[in-house]
Amino acid sequence: MDMSQYRDLFVSEAREHIRTMNELVESLSKEGEDEEQVASLFRMAHSVKGMAASMGYQAIADLAHKMEDLMDRVRKGLLPFERGAASLLLEGADLLDAMLDEVAEDGNVRSDAAALVKRLEAHASGMHAAEPEPGSLELPQPPAQTSAPSQRPGGRERSDSRQTIRIRTELLDSLINLTGELVTTKYRFLNLAQEIGSPPLEEVIADLSRLLRELQIQVSAARMLPFSTLADRFPRAVRDLARSRGKDVTFEVEGGELELDRGMLEALADPLIHLIRNAVDHGIEPAHIRLLAGKPQSGQLRLTAERARDQFVVQLADDGRGMDPAVLIATAIERGVVTTEEGWRMTAEQAFLLTCQPGFSTAREVTDVSGRGVGMDAARAAIQALGGQFTIESIPGKGTRMVVRLPLTIAIITVLLVETAGVVCAVPVNTVLRTVEVSPACFEERGGRHLLPFEEERLPVIPLQGLMGGYKEPAGPVSLVVAEVGTERIALAVDRFVGQQEIYVKPLGRPLSRLAWLSGGAILGDGRLVFILDMAGVALRAGI
């Protein structure tokens, strides 16, 4: 029987089981033995063994079998679940993942698990050496094993009675593409209906709009995944990194159940890992320094996710050494990143964002992990490319908080269409605070730039015409879009507001992706192409 047609399904299901195994090992290591979790871990290994054996991947089945054996002894109370067992199981999970990569690539397993299998056997039989811990800190030990597992309350089998079906991610992408094209076509119908002035047609289009809206919601929902899909990868990374640096770090995640667009989650993975590595490597101090500072030995790193209006907010907070804005500004001036005058005018928030300048690093040493000033730059660029905003708060000696604000979905967004010099551009409404029309007489002048008095601030006015080439001083009232860019606000001057509508975002490939002031494009209902402005990029280009 040709099993290759089931290969994708096998790989996908096995990966899920391995991911669950990793989570369970982390949980058992942190919180101590729990009968239900031990039983679940045994079942996961058993399932992977069974699936692999039925597919003919004996090397995978053998490795999973030894992991299952080890867990069998733990659940029977014959072996404690301690650090050695946890390390072996994590190592086994990694190797299983690598084997699955090979299977996904060409159907052949090449990795050799023989050495690990022997160590698993040795550990399961009780013949293992204590794990060497050169210079590293002790992790909390699990509570002592009792000898009467039958006295523990029976665990409840968790089951999900909802029926589910697996869908290839390419199919989901295709559905959102089609939905986006339908949105564009809807606007084409609307334009035609308005041109020919047909109320019955407009009514039908109104019904179509409602159905389309519902379809859009359902398809978007199908693309949503819990934040934990991403966040669950991090405890392991934090643990390994902290160990390699001889640090003790407690990592917590909150808001893992909140859902975010799949595409957004995938794109967030790299930026978040950069930020986490930076926090562990440079933020959190070694234990002896923390104790001298009166802090707990173990550094705290917390990743939280929450929904705020139409944004998804991710925060990474540590209680480490924090950053001194004065040091950052001095370094930036010394390196010519900013002038002395610019440095004097900088706020603390702006100073913290200096760490995202390419090549900027105040790290006393470059490690293999961070300190080259590359990670933060790449992280911020990736976040902005998603239409998100990135800010940093920090108190020297106390800690740092990095905040990422993202739109809920990247595929279909609502934009404000604006026109300048005959060119229509789109501004994502999630960046728009307000639209105003003012007389040029309201502007103040400073350093050759117009400033708009707005609430209690003076906002720099950026004429969009400057982007088009050629600028004329406005004669009549000026239309302005007040937008938020990081911790700052700007006022984008345009010729007129065209309207607001939903658009299906078309990503820009090379070379247009190099234009930092454009975050995407769209095709309007009347066939016109418009480009979506990246307000941070527009501000940067204008020298703000």
Partner 1 sequence: MSGISGRLMLFAAGVRRCAVPIDEVVEVIELPPLFPIPGAPSVLCGAINSHGRILPLVDLPLLCGLDSGSAPAGKVIVFDSFLADMALLVDEMHEVRPSTDILEEEEGEMPCLSRQLMFADGTAHLVTCQGVLAVVEKVLAESRSAAAEA
- Enumerate binding residues for partner 1 (CB under 8 A): 181, 422-423, 425, 464, 467-468, 506, 508-512, 514-518, 521, 523, 527-531, 533, 540-541, 543
Of 146 and 339, nearer to partner 1 (C-beta) is 339
Of 276 and 464, nearer to partner 1 (C-beta) is 464
Residues 6+ apart with CB under 8 A from 316: 272, 275, 276, 279, 301, 302, 303, 401, 402
Say how far apart CA 294 and CA 488 lie, in whole Å.
35
Query: CA nearest 359: which of 346, 375, 341, 348?
Result: 375
| CB of 93 vs partner 1, minimal distance in Å | 34
Of 294 and 509, nearer to partner 1 (C-beta) is 509
Say how far apart CA 202 and CA 188 lie, in whole Å.
12
Of 39 and 523, nearer to partner 1 (C-beta) is 523
Say how far apart CA 376 and CA 282 lie, in whole Å.
12
Residues 6+ apart with CB under 8 A from 30: 140
Q: Is the dihedral of CA 239, 245, 248, 253 positive or negative?
A: negative
Say how far apart CA 390 and CA 107 lie, in whole Å.
42
Residues forming beta bridges with residue 150, ordered by sequence position: none
Phi and psi, residue 470, nearest 5°: 85, 130
Range list of H helices, 386-512: 465-468
Phi and psi, residue 504, nearest 5°: -95, 120
Please, are residues 96 and 48 in contact by the beta-carbon 8 Å criterion? yes
| CB of 170 vs partner 1, minimal distance in Å | 16
Q: What letter represents residue 164's amino acid?
A: T
Of 314 and 461, nearer to partner 1 (C-beta) is 461
| CB of 198 vs partner 1, minimal distance in Å | 26
Of 31 and 526, nearer to partner 1 (C-beta) is 526
Q: For residue 488, give the H/E element and its range.
A: strand 488-494
In three-state secondary structure terms, 382 is helix
What per-residue string of b and e applies to 217-233 under the rule 16 or more CB within 10 Å gives b?
A: eebbeebbbbbbbbbbb
Say how far apart CA 515 and CA 68 lie, in whole Å.
53
| CB of 212 vs partner 1, minimal distance in Å | 18
Which segments within 149-293 are labelled E, that is strand? 224-226, 249-254, 259-261
Please, are residues 424 and 498 in contact by the beta-carbon 8 Å criterion? yes
Of 260 and 464, nearer to partner 1 (C-beta) is 464
| CB of 468 vs partner 1, minimal distance in Å | 6
Residues forming beta bridges with residue 311, ordered by sequence position: 308, 407
Query: CA nearest 248: which of 294, 284, 302?
Result: 284
Of 74 and 467, nearer to partner 1 (C-beta) is 467
- CA angle, corner 274, sides to 229 and 298, nearest 5? 85
3-state per-residue secondary structure call for 219-247: HHHHHEEECHHHHCCHHHHHHHHHHHCCC
Of 395 and 529, nearer to partner 1 (C-beta) is 529
| CB of 349 vs partner 1, minimal distance in Å | 21
| CB of 163 vs partner 1, minimal distance in Å | 35
Query: Half-sphere exposure of residue 180, counting CA atoms within 13 Å on the CB side?
Result: 22
Q: What letter represents residue 40's amino acid?
A: S
Of 175 and 516, nearer to partner 1 (C-beta) is 516
| CB of 184 vs partner 1, minimal distance in Å | 9
Of 114 and 529, nearer to partner 1 (C-beta) is 529
Of 56 and 507, nearer to partner 1 (C-beta) is 507
Of 260 and 410, nearer to partner 1 (C-beta) is 410
Query: CA nearest 263: which of 505, 7, 535?
Result: 505
| CB of 501 vs partner 1, minimal distance in Å | 17
Of 280 and 493, nearer to partner 1 (C-beta) is 493
| CB of 317 vs partner 1, minimal distance in Å | 33
| CB of 510 vs partner 1, minimal distance in Å | 5
| CB of 529 vs partner 1, minimal distance in Å | 4
| CB of 391 vs partner 1, minimal distance in Å | 22
| CB of 432 vs partner 1, minimal distance in Å | 17
